Structure 1
Amino acid sequence: MQSHPPRNDGDRTLEDDSHAIVTRRIQRLSSHLTIPVSSPHQSQLHMLTCARAKLEVDTRALSSLMRGKHREIQERVFMFFDSRPDLQTPIEISMKDHRELCMRQLLALVREAGIRPFRYVVEDPAIYFAIAEAVGSVDMSLAIKMGVQYSLWGGSVLNLGTKKHRDKYFDGIDSLEYPGCFAMTELHHGSNVQGIQTVATFDPLTDEFVINTPNDGAIKWWIGNAAVHGKFATVFAKLMLPTHDSKGVSDMGVHSFIVPIRDLKTHETLPGIEIHDCGHKVGLNGVDNGALRFTSVRIPRDNLLNRFGDVSRDGKYTSSLPTINKRFAATLGELVGGRVALAYSSVSVLKIAVIIAVRYSLLRQQFGPPKKPEVSILDYQSHQHKLMPMLASAYAFHFSAQYLVDKYSEMKKTHDEQLVGDVHALSAGLKSYITSFTAKSLSTCREACGGHGYAAVNRFGSLRNDHDIFQTFEGDNTVLLQQVAGDLLKQYNEKFQGGTLTVTWNYLRESMNTYLSQPNPVTARWEGEGHLRDPKFQLDAFRYRTSRLLQSVAVRLRKHSKTLGMFGAWNRCLNHLLTLAESHIESVILAKFVEVVQNCPDANARAALKLVCDLYALDRIWKDIGTYRNVDYVAPNKAKAIHKLTEYLSFQVRNIAGELVDAFDLPDQVTRAPIAMQSEAYAQYTQYVGFKFIEKAINR
């Protein structure tokens, strides 16, 4: 027998490669035919037996995980306002009184309670967001007013200005001596910030910028703090430089400027500035939104917030960023904190609504078997179908919003460019997805509480009205979802050009080819509970849908762009693009939830979270089962099993629903609705409308 020397990879033959390919195919087929460890068929009797075994929940352990390390400062906010009845917002209040109360609440928080939110905008954004969440539970108008003062007005000075601006304005903003506004939105331009028409023209003779509103469409509109309290405004305008050519001026793009709008001592409106009240709104009437028009308003050249672009005394423009688009992107990138705050705050609103609806649904009894006691309305499958997936979503959103806050805090510390892009896309997606979900859920919760949900004291009306604008400001949700879709397409193209992918899109880098392969006919039929509750199956299903949507819309865009151009093609595929963005965000939310479950240190809390996570995942899959069926990812028998298991998990979550909402750890003075009180809810409700409390007679 003839021996052969060892071969390196370059000595491989076609026969070797063919043998390796065959071996891999056999291994893959074998894995497809392997039945999961869990039994694929469970009897209905076994399901019912398991359902009767209620999961024991250690509320304290779960609450510790949910409230986290910033619980103490939130408790300070709760306790302060609970001790001050004069600062609590009544159910019925005029717009004027609400605005004045809101300002008093903010002043008291800063000057009496000693909580200085502005310090945390710089030092630790996670603490700032925790304060904002707690303040929002006192009055959502207060949270928005605080956000305008510290995150928008104050944040623009810190993030878009330089040291000279911080030195001059920090203390006044922090102490509320300098209440301010954030004047970006115009009557004709909201989401399209690059299209704003306000102009700031440099005058080299006086070393000043001259701010003008050229037409009514350029009036700054919906500006918080402007109608009553603001003394300064960060005004976004096109920076114009005089030139010696036929054009006369040169447009350097959108920049931001500090513009005093009222006298610091007299509070009189300054010359050239016209301020009008935007009037009564659907909600948030504690915030004084106003409209601003500027006529030849002169400000010093130093009032240009010059981090990304500056003008010298002789009128020369300099910037470290070479183009208008890059400067604009950098400017908006520094303002992403507002979207982070809205996503985080929207989860807080959802929690309060779910707490009220679940506690009332456990309390309220109605109908039942003949000659038997009435049953809780949460025992009805239809009610579980309304509220239990919503409760699961509140948990899922909590962890994804917390993840977003952590990434934002890291971004502010490191200024890593890749992280900046990641946070921008993630905040756009989570803000739009969570706020849209919460807005719909508020109506569902109101309906779930029947007529009592319609009473103003039980809060659904005010929560719904105050939260509704979350879908629009800091970026319209439809526009933000398009940004997410655009970023996905960019990442998709870079994937096939050998580029890198940011953290949020890891699954595209790792498994894109797998997700775009033909669905396996064997796994498409697996229906065992163990398989369906396996996080790998759930994540694969979410990611397969996203990857397929991404590939198909990329093909459609290429096809239509040949005849319609890029804008026309984008518009032709717009609904597809929005679905893609939502699918991707759901994938991110589930991945974070799965990670939290797996890393939960307490076994008892981990079991409860696993149950809730499974309901979240399978409910989402079932809601889009048509997509999975159309591409044969899920066979009919498996679809039926998913539906049955979702209903079963809803029942299981119902069994611990009280403990799950208790784990949000929000005291009664925060939820406030009488029907959501943890004890004697009906007694407090009747007393609120005027009935006297009568002690039950005790038999002696």
Structure 2
Amino acid sequence: MAEIREKVCAGESEATRGCARRRLERLASHLHASSHLLEEAQLSRSVCSRVTVKRPLNSAALSTYMAGEYSALRDKIVQFFLERPSLLTPVEIAKDEHRELTMRQVLAVVRECGIRPLQYLLQEPGKYFAVTEAVGLVDLSLGIKLGVQFSLWGGSVMNLGTKKHHDKYFAGIDNVDYPGCFAMTELHHGSNVQGIETTATFDKAKDEFVVNTPNDGATKWWIGNAAVHGKFASVFARLLLPSGESNVKVDMGVHAFIVPIRHMEDHSVLPGVDIRDCGYKVGLNGVDNGALRFHNVRIPRENLLNRFGDVSEDGQYSSSLPTSNKRFAATLGELVGGRVGLADGSVGVLKIAATIAIRYSLLRQQFGPPNQPEISILDYQSQQQKLMPMLASAYGFHFATKYLVKQYSEMKISRDEAVIADVHALSAGLKSYITSYTAKALSICRESCGGHGYAAVNRFGSLRNDHDIFQTFEGDNTVLLQQVAGDLLRQYKAKFQGSSLSVTWNYLRESMGTYLSQTNPVATHREGYGHLRDSAFQLDAFRYRTARLLHTAALRLKKHSGRLGSFGAWNRCLNHLLTLAESHIESVVLAKFIDGVNGCQDKQARGLLKLLCDLYALDRIWEDIGTYRNQDYIAPNKAKAIQRLVEHLCHEVRGVSKEFVDAFGIPDSMLRAPIGLQSGQYTEYAQYIGF
């Protein structure tokens, strides 16, 4: 190398020689590493080609760890429904029957089983989300109906109201004497809540608000509990106050109001309120969604939920927050519990679907070597690569959402502004990412079970239809991902102004310092089994990608904003921003998955959780290998090694896949899909059609 360097540098200036020297030193580092890299490559191929020996796994120990501190509560609810088969939702049921059954289920959970969801939501949120997960096993319509009553209607009153509202409404909401609705979404305004047009005008002479629907587009639409059962609604409307000039109103922005919609005694619709039934939906037909219009509906001034803004008897407005934007942000910030619940509930759906598909794939045998018994369809590499990364994702999402629930609980206790901001962005990102992933996974699971996945009794159709709306309500997924990207960009700006980063974003402090640094050529080429399964490498890879995407997004927005304006620049970079948000959420999931692995006290279970965690990480890296290759973060030989290792890990996980799905702890009585039962699948399936 010295001779080569002398020839190249002869006759050149000192600056040129220095440049050449740096290039040659980098080349030398490649050559120096070659024998070491070859050794690791051979090791990787050797490991990936060996025959897997089935590893023992104590499903009970892992199930206990996964169930967490509220397992007894979940078991209580499951046992309650086991003893009342008349409350279980049949495969075939008409809309009206389904709605009445769902309401009976809600009342039974509260009044017979002794569950107090609203108390849990306010005092111990983790307990509330354990309840919603358990009832989701019974019927997703029940989970959503319960969420409308307690998280949306009850949560809006408790979180946006003050003591007078708590004293008046808490008991009635908690025991379902006051069934209610959450009337935010309008026909013309979905995710853009600040654009809603329903008005609540203060009438100083009568000390009342007058609620009106000014046009067709302002019709409250998709309001759960409205079509049949609701007696009250939390109505979000523009608060209009009289000014000094006649007929001129001052718009104080969006506020929430308690509006009675039906008589307490005979359940008839109140004057001025129009209610229509939204009818059959793609799924969740146990929830009675309706549309509402208001025509000069008068409510007392005290029905304003006045935690963030109040109106006095003489029409004076007061608030502890200085602007309508801050009041609006504070209002929505108190309602993130719905997103937390959807993210957590979506993981439950993914667990159910993965359990059914994997158990059936282990049972079903098809083809095989000549003159040999047929083999399980899960022994086929193609089936493994459909289902094993999905199983790993279900575990990763489990740990991520448990962290989110913990942060949400901390937020409700501490009211710390940093934690509030963190939960707002994290709930938006996890809800969006997990629900989108689960929606795709449901179709893959159905297809993986062939024709038998198409039978309604095996539940993929109902799960897919009921879950599909999870991608839309509590915020459209694309809109929520933009919120995550916007928050990341604010954090990025704050870092370079000397501010600290919020809780979940802390990793960017280290990553942003190295995203432009030259990639280490040795690390770029390393492909050894131990290196690729090193959590530090995996997490660094995820965070490197996020940091690069964040930096380049900031540069692109700056470049385009001068010519297109801020909105035009954002729209021009939108796909980039969505990818950034997804990359960040994947980093968070992996970090929490690693924490979950390390927190498992059972050594055997911990080792196998690590296997799943490695599969989650390397499968995601392989799925986006083009990005890593374009940035010279992963060399071609390393990319091939990752692909081989993903295939090998799928093979390894297949050997303990039964135990992994058993550890979800879903009893057959709640799974209710014949092909997904732990035993007697074909007998149960045949009996269903009359054999």
The amino acid across from 2:155 in the alignment is G
TM-score by length of 1: 0.93
Q: Which residue of 2 aligns with 1:166?
A: 166
Q: How many residues in Structure 1 have an aligned counterpart in Structure 2?
A: 664
The alignment partner of 1:283 has SS state of coil
Partners of 2:52 and 2:82 in 1: how far apart? 40
Asked if structure 1 preserves the Cα contact closer than 8 Å seen for 2:133 and 2:345, the reply is yes
Structure 1 residue 39: Cα displacement = 4.3
Structure 1 residue 515: Cα displacement = 2.8
Are 1:108 and 2:82 matched, yes or no? no
Partners of 1:494 and 1:65 in 2: how far apart? 38
Q: Which residue of 2 aligns with 1:17?
A: none
Residues 519/456 of structure 1: CA separation in 2 closer, same or farther (3 Å cut): same
Structure 1 residue 246: Cα displacement = 6.7
The alignment partner of 1:186 has SS state of coil
Partners of 1:541 and 1:509 in 2: how far apart? 15
Equivalent residues in 2 for 1:289-308, closer than 5 Å: 289-308=289-308
Structure 1 residue 36: Cα displacement = 9.4
Equivalent residues in 2 for 1:71-470, closer than 5 Å: 71-245=71-245, 248-470=248-470
Partners of 1:44 and 1:586 in 2: how far apart? 28
Partners of 2:601 and 2:590 in 1: how far apart? 19
TM-score by length of 2: 0.94
More displaced 10-residue stretch of structure 1: 53-62 or 524-533: 53-62
Partners of 1:311 and 1:287 in 2: how far apart? 35
The amino acid across from 1:47 in the alignment is C
Partners of 2:423 and 2:546 in 1: how far apart? 20
Residues 171/37 of structure 1: CA separation in 2 closer, same or farther (3 Å cut): farther
Q: Which residue of 2 aligns with 1:57?
A: 57
The amino acid across from 2:536 in the alignment is K
Asked if structure 1 preserves the Cα contact closer than 8 Å seen for 2:238 and 2:253, the reply is yes
Asked if structure 1 preserves the Cα contact closer than 8 Å seen for 2:384 and 2:650, the reply is yes
Partners of 2:539 and 2:112 in 1: how far apart? 49
Asked if structure 2 preserves the Cα contact closer than 8 Å seen for 1:38 and 1:529, the reply is no
Partners of 1:291 and 1:477 in 2: how far apart? 23
Asked if structure 2 preserves the Cα contact closer than 8 Å seen for 1:557 and 1:570, the reply is yes
Offset from partner CA, 1:672-696 (integer Å, 9 cap, x none): 10001111110111011100xxxxx
The amino acid across from 1:48 in the alignment is S
The alignment partner of 2:315 has SS state of coil
Asked if structure 1 preserves the Cα contact closer than 8 Å seen for 2:52 and 2:651, the reply is no
Residues 92/498 of structure 1: CA separation in 2 closer, same or farther (3 Å cut): same
More displaced 10-residue stretch of structure 1: 404-413 or 244-253: 244-253
Partners of 1:122 and 1:633 in 2: how far apart? 47
The alignment partner of 1:513 has SS state of coil
Q: Which residue of 2 aligns with 1:497?
A: 497
Partners of 2:484 and 2:281 in 1: how far apart? 30
Equivalent residues in 2 for 1:30-41, closer than 5 Å: 39-41=40-42
Q: Which residue of 2 aligns with 1:487?
A: 487
Q: Which residue of 1 aligns with 2:612?
A: 612
Partners of 1:641 and 1:607 in 2: how far apart? 22
Asked if structure 1 preserves the Cα contact closer than 8 Å seen for 2:44 and 2:645, the reply is no
Structure 1 residue 599: Cα displacement = 2.6
The amino acid across from 1:634 in the alignment is I
Partners of 2:173 and 2:83 in 1: how far apart? 26
The amino acid across from 1:189 in the alignment is H
Asked if structure 1 preserves the Cα contact closer than 8 Å seen for 2:37 and 2:527, the reply is no
The alignment partner of 1:442 has SS state of helix
Are 1:47 and 2:53 matched, yes or no? no
Offset from partner CA, 1:474-524 (integer Å, 9 cap, x none): 000000000000000000001111011001111111331123322222211
Offset from partner CA, 1:377-431 (integer Å, 9 cap, x none): 0000000010000000000000000000000011001111100000000000000
Equivalent residues in 2 for 1:499-538, closer than 5 Å: 499-538=499-538
Structure 1 residue 595: Cα displacement = 1.5
Partners of 2:388 and 2:433 in 1: how far apart? 19
The alignment partner of 2:405 has SS state of helix
Asked if structure 2 preserves the Cα contact closer than 8 Å seen for 1:515 and 1:543, the reply is no
Q: Which residue of 2 aligns with 1:583?
A: 583
Partners of 1:37 and 1:244 in 2: how far apart? 83
Offset from partner CA, 1:87-145 (integer Å, 9 cap, x none): 11111111010001110111111111111111101110100000001101101101100
Partners of 1:46 and 1:255 in 2: how far apart? 62
The alignment partner of 2:91 has SS state of coil
Partners of 1:38 and 1:470 in 2: how far apart? 48
Q: Which residue of 2 aligns with 1:664?
A: 664
Partners of 1:428 and 1:44 in 2: how far apart? 41
List runs of 5+ in structure 1 lacking aligned partners: 1-21, 692-700
Partners of 1:630 and 1:116 in 2: how far apart? 54
The alignment partner of 2:210 has SS state of strand
Partners of 1:500 and 1:199 in 2: how far apart? 40
Partners of 2:108 and 2:68 in 1: how far apart? 26
Offset from partner CA, 1:404-462 (integer Å, 9 cap, x none): 00000110011111000000000000000000000000000000000000000000000
Partners of 1:220 and 1:522 in 2: how far apart? 60
Residues 127/36 of structure 1: CA separation in 2 closer, same or farther (3 Å cut): farther
The amino acid across from 1:215 in the alignment is N
Residues 639/231 of structure 1: CA separation in 2 closer, same or farther (3 Å cut): same
The amino acid across from 1:60 in the alignment is A
Q: Which residue of 2 aligns with 1:12?
A: none
Q: Which residue of 1 aligns with 2:7?
A: none
Are 1:646 and 2:646 matched, yes or no? yes
Using the aligned pairs only, state the percent identity.
Answer: 69
Partners of 2:213 and 2:132 in 1: how far apart? 33
The alignment partner of 1:665 has SS state of coil
Structure 1 residue 263: Cα displacement = 0.2
Asked if structure 1 preserves the Cα contact closer than 8 Å seen for 2:44 and 2:528, the reply is no
Asked if structure 2 preserves the Cα contact closer than 8 Å seen for 1:446 and 1:453, the reply is yes
The amino acid across from 2:82 in the alignment is D
Residues 299/532 of structure 1: CA separation in 2 closer, same or farther (3 Å cut): same
Q: Which residue of 1 aligns with 2:539?
A: 539
Offset from partner CA, 1:222-252 (integer Å, 9 cap, x none): 0000000000000000000000137711000
Partners of 1:37 and 1:540 in 2: how far apart? 23
Partners of 1:654 and 1:61 in 2: how far apart? 19
Partners of 2:44 and 2:473 in 1: how far apart? 50
The CA RMSD over aligned residues, in Å, is 1.7
Q: Which residue of 2 aligns with 1:19?
A: none
The alignment partner of 1:41 has SS state of helix
